[in-house]
Amino acid sequence: MLSIIIPTLNEEKYINKLLHSIKNQFHKNYEIIIVDGSSTDNTEQVVNKYKHKFKRLDFIRIEEKNVSKQRNTGAKVARGEILIFLDADIIIYDQHFLGKINKFLQGEYVEETDEEKDKKEEENSVKRKGEKEFGALTSYIEIDPKEAKAIDIIFHKSNNLWIKILNKLGAFISRGGCTIVKKSAFGKVKGFNEKSHVAEDLDFSRRINKITRVKCVDLLVHESARRFRKIGYLKLWWHWTINGIWTFLFKKSFLKEWKEVR
CB 34 within 8 A of CB 60: yes
Residue 158's pLDDT band (cuts 50, 70, 90): very high
Domain assignment present for residue 260? The answer is: no
Phi (first) and psi of residue 243, to 5 degrees: -75, -30
Domain presence at residue 255: no
DSSP run (H or E) holding 246: helix 233-250
* Rounded distance between C-alpha atoms, residue 16 and residue 18, angstroms: 5
Once rounded to an integer, what is the mean pLDDT over residues 102-106? 89
Q: 259 in a domain, yes or no?
A: no
Cα 180 to Cα 80, 172, 204, 207, 238: the distances in Å are 12, 12, 11, 14, 26
Query: Does 88 reside within a domain?
Result: yes
Domain of residue 171 covers: 2-250
Which tens digit of pLDDT belongs to each residue from 17-54?
Answer: 999 999 999 999 999 999 999 999 999 999 999 999 99
Q: Which helix (H) or strand (E) holds 205?
A: helix 200-211
- 232 alpha carbon, distance to own chain's centre: 22
% of the chain exceeding 70 in pLDDT: 86
Helix (H), strand (E) at residue 203: helix 200-211
Q: Determine the pLDDT at residue 115.
A: 56
Decide if pLDDT at 125 tops 80. no
Maximal CA-CA distance, the chain: 53
pLDDT digits (tens, 9 = 90+) for 171-227: 888 888 999 999 999 999 999 998 877 788 888 998 999 999 998 899 999 999 999
| Residue 87 clears pLDDT 70, i.e. is over it | yes
Q: Classify residue 256: in a domain, yes or no.
A: no
Tell me the pTM: 0.87
pLDDT, average across residues 103-115: 61
- Is the per-residue pLDDT at 111 higher than 70? no
Q: What is the CATH number of the domain that holds 144?
A: 3.90.550.10
Asked if residue 104 lies in contact with residue 115, where contact means CB atoms within 8 angstroms, the answer is no
Tell whether 257 is covered by a domain.
no
Q: How many domains does the chain have?
A: 1
Task: List pLDDT tens digits, range 142-154.
Answer: 999 999 999 999 9
- pLDDT for the residue 110: 43
